[in-house]
Structure 1
Amino acid sequence: MRWLLQWGAQADWFADLAAEGKPTQAWLNRTEALPHLAWLMQAFFDLSASRSLVMGGEGPIPLSEILAYCQMFGVNDVDERGDFLRVIRAMDEAYLEERHRQREAAEETPQR
């Protein structure tokens, strides 16, 4: 998740360089979601649209939205919901930390 947030916009370019035999260090350090967990990444991106804006940027994904997602897609078992909540919250924390880092870096960059 962190790699995707930091480098995802350049992933195609990195892949092209790697195919030419010139992989970047960022490409070599990438992590990929296991195929059977891809649905969790999709769920995270679907749920990200429901976050509100708070002072200083984006807020966390509301618990109510996570629970609504579970109901909509049939995640009904209490243990499965708990696991789903923990995974989405961990992904959300990584996302918010990276966005905060990006905002701070932008503020430190001198304006022309």
Structure 2
Amino acid sequence: MEWGDKIEWLQDLAEEGEAIPALGNQPTIPAHLEFAWSAFWALKNDRPLGFAMIGRISFSAIDRFARRYDVHGDAFERLRVLIAAMDAAFVEKVMARPK
């Protein structure tokens, strides 16, 4: 999650000769999880923000995304659970940062 939606930018910098040590530690996303990973990053800004707080991605945001991509039934539940788990880890990491 450290790289998030900046991964392509970091990869471009590396291709231009810039040393990006963090790219050597980049996790590999299994093919069957790539859609959920992409969905999480597409929805990352669709969350409520408050005073010194970051909210969770809402069910309705996930539902709208799933409807757009024709994800229903068990596939929707799996996507919802995966996004919720990634979101919980993301929020925990963001809230743990020094203010």
Determine the C-alpha separation between the residues in 1 that align with 2:41 and 2:93.
Answer: 15
Question: One-letter code of the match for 2:53?
Answer: G
Among 83, 89, 92, the alignment partner of 1:94 is: 89
Q: Counterpart of 2:26 in 1: which secondary structure?
A: coil
Question: In the alignment, which residue of structure 2 is the partner of 1:21?
Answer: none
Q: How many residues in Structure 1 have an aligned counterpart in Structure 2?
A: 95
TM-score computed with the length of structure 1 as normaliser? 0.65
Question: Contact 1:3 / 1:31 at 8 angstroms: preserved in 2?
Answer: no
Aligned-pair Cα RMSD in Å: 2.8
| Runs (5+) with no aligned partner, structure 2 | none
Relative distance call for 1:14 and 1:96 in structure 2 (3 A) is farther
Question: One-letter code of the match for 1:87?
Answer: L
Q: Which has the higher contact order (CA 8 A, sep 6+)?
A: 1
Among 72, 80, 91, the alignment partner of 2:75 is: 80
Question: In the alignment, which residue of structure 2 is the partner of 1:48?
Answer: 44
> Which has the larger helix fraction?
1
Question: Contact 1:52 / 1:60 at 8 angstroms: preserved in 2?
Answer: yes
Determine the C-alpha separation between the residues in 2 that align with 1:85 and 1:47.
Answer: 12
Determine the C-alpha separation between the residues in 1 that align with 2:53 and 2:92.
Answer: 11
Which 4+ runs in 1 deviate beyond 6 A? Answer: none
- Give the Å deviation of 1:85: 0.8
TM-score computed with the length of structure 2 as normaliser? 0.72
| Structure of higher CA gyration radius | 1
Relative distance call for 1:49 and 1:27 in structure 2 (3 A) is closer
